[in-house]
């Protein structure tokens, strides 16, 4: 760490002395000096996000390959993957389990002079490494998880690490802004959705006034997104599906589908919370191992019976429904995905629920379309609406969900229908629980973090600007 700090400080000092002092006024120079570490962190985030995405694709394709070749392997590989994923987290970084977004929310709340030394339990490079290792191991065994929430936690950890490396006397932005900006950059790089990253910050991560951090967020989202695009080219997460954006009476169908999918998403969130509370009954290591292996065996049964569409992120399912929908998707697939998500998340390893919630919503939307006799050419709109609504029911971020799906598909003609569905899903989900899944989990991570021993004074980072 001292060697890295020395080299980093020398680079920054040279940049300030030989370039910025000669070209800019003191005010502009200070703004650039504050922003430069975040730009650097954004580049690193973009590179890591692309590498993580490629690892995820490889792991998912590998799981599909062994499942197609020998389905009986599920009864061995899936429980082993669950156990390895849980053990890695349990041994080296308990703060790496689950999605990652509640940890970032908790870290932002702890970014105060009194508690900032505790953030490392949730957001550190060690946690980021364990996050990647655990989630890839779980996906190799057929886990029903996504990488978007983990990417947000990894990005926040990167921003925090680089922010802490700044030499004494360097004009700094606050710890809180570093974490907020990292979260936005992580989502933008994961989905190639810059607007989604910005809206996500405003809607989910923080209640601060946007003026405090807007330039940091905007620039980080741009740099991280451009870095990701430079490595893998411009792309849409879900391509360009054909969508007929109906208005008029069809909006009644849109509203009904949004309400049902929002309700389903809220019930999924309640299921995760119930399973999490039930799991606390198992206190010993042996009991915990039994729970994890049991979750893996149950998912193995689903994988053996249903095949590849019962495991993984669910992105191939979304693509099939949007571009090659033959109207014959099994009616039970939504229940399989719902159960697989719950088992994978509650197994104790690392893995997100963003992408898997989108796939569950797509499957449910297609099922409702078939039950309602909606023509095949009109189903894509309802599938997109269902994706927004189910995700909103889980995370309670309707505008983030609508903007994400919009940017993933470039279907601007459907923006009003997507926004309407998000708002309707939010309304019905609030009747099930006024608080989102992430808010509940954030509270748990706050208690867990504050219960950890405080780091010794020698390991505490130098003072930074206090948070308001």
What length does the chain have?
Answer: 468
The CA–CA distances, whole Å, from 108 to 76, 103, 200, 243, 266 equal 40, 9, 14, 39, 25
Tokens matching residue 103: 């940890």
C-alpha–C-alpha distance, residues 342 and 391, integer Å: 14
Distance CA 413, CA 36 (A): 38
Instruction: Quickly count: other Cβ atoms within 10 Å of residue 347's Cβ.
Output: 32
The whole-model pTM stands at 0.89
pLDDT for 14 = 55
How far is Cα 338 from Cα 261, in angstroms, rounded to an integer? 12
Which pLDDT score, from 0 to 100, does residue 457 have?
59
Closest residue by Cα to residue 261 from 311, 334, 316, 211:
334
State the 10-residue block means of pLDDT for the chain, 468 residues long: 54 55 54 74 91 94 94 95 96 93 92 86 95 96 92 93 75 76 86 78 64 67 79 74 79 93 96 94 93 96 93 91 88 94 93 91 94 87 94 91 88 87 94 92 93 68 48
- Spatial separation of the C-alpha atoms in residues 140 and 142, rounded to whole Å: 6
Output the CA torsion sign for 99, 101, 106, 111. Answer: positive
Asked if 220 and 424 touch (Cβ cutoff 8 Å), the reply is no
Q: What is the 3-state secondary structure (H, E, C) of 221-272?
A: HHHHHHHHHHHHCCCCCCCCCCCCCCCCCHHHHHHHHHHHHHHHHHHHHHHH
């Amino acid at each position: 760490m001292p060697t890295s700090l020395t080299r980093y400080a020398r680079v920054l000092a040279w940049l300030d002395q030989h370039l910025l002092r000669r070209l800019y006024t003191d005010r502009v120079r200070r703004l650039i000096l504050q922003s430069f570490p975040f730009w650097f962190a954004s580049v690193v985030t973009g590179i890591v996000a692309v590498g993580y995405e490629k690892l995820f694709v490889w792991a998912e394709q590998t799981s599909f390959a062994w499942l197609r070749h020998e389905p009986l392997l599920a009864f061995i590989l899936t429980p082993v993957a669950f156990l390895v994923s849980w053990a890695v987290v349990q041994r080296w970084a308990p703060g790496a389990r689950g999605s990652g977004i509640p940890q970032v929310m908790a870290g932002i709340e702890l970014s105060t002079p009194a508690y900032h030394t505790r953030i490392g339990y949730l957001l550190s490079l060690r946690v980021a490494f364990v996050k990647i290792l655990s989630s890839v191991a779980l996906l190799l065994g057929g886990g029903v998880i996504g990488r978007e929430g983990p990417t947000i936690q990894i990005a926040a950890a990167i921003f925090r690490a680089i922010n802490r490396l700044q030499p004494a006397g360097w004009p700094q932005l606050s710890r809180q802004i570093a974490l907020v900006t990292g979260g936005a950059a992580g989502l933008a790089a994961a989905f190639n959705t810059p607007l989604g990253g910005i809206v996500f910050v405003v809607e989910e991560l923080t209640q601060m006034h946007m003026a405090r951090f807007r330039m940091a967020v905007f620039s980080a989202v741009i740099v991280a997104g451009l870095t990701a695009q430079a490595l893998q080219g411009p792309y849409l997460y879900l391509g360009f599906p054909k969508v007929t954006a109906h208005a008029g009476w069809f909006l009644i169908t849109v509203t009904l589908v949004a309400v049902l999918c929002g309700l389903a998403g809220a019930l999924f969130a309640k299921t995760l919370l119930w399973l999490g509370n039930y799991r606390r009954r198992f206190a010993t290591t042996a009991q915990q191992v039994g729970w994890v292996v049991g979750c893996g065996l149950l998912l193995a049964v689903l994988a053996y019976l249903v095949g590849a569409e019962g495991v993984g992120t669910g992105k191939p399912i979304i693509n099939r429904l949007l571009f090659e929908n033959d109207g014959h998707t099994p009616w039970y697939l939504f229940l399989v995905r719902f159960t697989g998500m719950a088992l994978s998340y509650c197994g104790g390893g690392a893995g997100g629920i963003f992408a898997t919630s989108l796939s569950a919503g797509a499957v449910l939307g297609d099922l409702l379309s078939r039950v309602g006799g909606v023509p095949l050419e009109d189903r894509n709109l309802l599938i997109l609406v269902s994706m927004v609504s189910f995700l909103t029911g889980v995370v309670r971020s309707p505008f983030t969900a609508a903007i994400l799906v919009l940017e993933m598909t470039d279907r601007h003609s459907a923006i009003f229908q997507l926004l309407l569905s998000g708002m309707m899903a939010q309304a019905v989900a609030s009747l099930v629980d006024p608080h989102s899944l992430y808010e509940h989990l954030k509270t748990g991570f706050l208690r867990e973090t504050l219960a950890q021993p405080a780091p010794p004074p020698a390991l505490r980072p130098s003072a930074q600007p206090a948070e308001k």
